[in-house]
Amino acid sequence: ATTKTVTVNADVTPTISISATTDTLCAGSLAYFASVITNGGTAPAYIWRVNGGATVFSSAYSYIPANGDVVTAMLTSNAQCAVPASVTSNTVTMTVNPQVIPVVVITATPPGTILTGATKTLTATVSNGGDNPNYQWILNGVVIPGATDSSYTATTFNDGDTVTCVVISSGVCGGNTAFSNKEGIVVYNNVGIKSLAPKEELAVYPNPNNGAFTIKGAIGNTDEEVNIVVTDLLGQQVYRSVAIVSNGMLDAQVQLGKSVAHGMYLVSVHTAAGVMVFHVVVEQ
């Protein structure tokens, strides 16, 4: 009789374990996953799934996740006696934090026009800046050395200067940069100009008004050009024009436009002899 030897291989159980380089990251970042298997045979097959949907077929995987994504992988082994032939990995749940986009608004104290040498403080108010945002103040497009606090104070502003503040957030997903408004920090320097008196020589009417009003009255005995500047109480310029004084009399029409919100505004009349400032109320 002929005898044969029968080899019976023991069952093997495939396994697959997956891990991410990190399961917490910022929106828009790429996540990387790797797998470790046992009893996969000579040609194991992979299927990666995000929230149950099949994606790629390789031993590693990368993609840009959304918050709450659940990632798994399935291994199909070609090893002899693999029971079961296909197994599913552990799950990895992704936490995706939104990018922190800072918003910065600067305000001026005091608002509006200042005289030469007067102190003006600009303060940056930041939202989404993190616990320790970075500040940099810029004057007329040039970085101000050492001006890296949340406020900037100076006594050397010149007529027409503009200041902005650049803020870099420090949040978990920070590093984003925001630029402040430029409006509200235009400073008019009145070199050698004194305040005119008595103020009753000029009048603004009607007051309150709907954004259209007249500035009229005696300024002096000469003909000249005067600058009329209107700012809100944050110092943001909303209007500027040049008017002609004829025979010492000013009769200027101001039209702020329908885009100007209701509220109180400062009207500054700049002349060769000085400056007058009036409060007007716009009721749109």
Reported as a single tens digit per residue, the pLDDT across 222-248 is 788 888 988 876 667 889 999 988 888
Quote the pLDDT of residue 11: 87
- Residue 75 and residue 87 in contact, taking contact as beta carbons nearer than 8 Å: yes
274-282 sheet: strands from edge to edge: 194-195, 274-282, 263-270, 224-232, 237-246, 249-255, 212-218, 202-205
Residue of 115 and 18 predicted with greater confidence: 18
For 198, list phi and psi in degrees, rounded to 5: -80, 150
- Residue 190 and residue 270 in contact, taking contact as beta carbons nearer than 8 Å: yes
pLDDT-derived band at 77, boundaries 50, 70, 90: very high
Tokens of 169: 């957030």
* Coil vs helix vs strand at 200: helix
Q: Is 50 exceeded by the pLDDT of residue 192?
A: no
Q: What is the dihedral of CA 257, 262, 266, 270, to 10 degrees?
A: 10
Q: Is 70 exceeded by the pLDDT of residue 194?
A: no
Q: Is 60 exceeded by the pLDDT of residue 111?
A: yes
- Residue 112 and residue 266 in contact, taking contact as beta carbons nearer than 8 Å: yes
**Lowest-confidence region among 114-118, 183-187, 249-253:** 183-187
120-127 sheet: strands from edge to edge: 103-109, 120-127, 151-154
Quote the pLDDT of residue 3: 72
What does the mean pLDDT of the chain come to? 83
| Neighbour tally for 113: CB within 10 Å | 20
pLDDT in tens, 129-171: 888 888 998 888 888 999 999 999 988 888 778 888 888 888 7
* Whole-angstrom distance, CA of residue 236 vs CA of residue 116: 19
**Lowest-confidence region among 92-106, 142-156, 170-184:** 170-184
The residues pairing with 149 across neighbouring beta strands, listed in sequence order, are: none
pTM of the predicted model, to two decimals? 0.50
pLDDT in tens, 37-73: 999 999 999 999 999 988 889 999 999 999 999 999 9
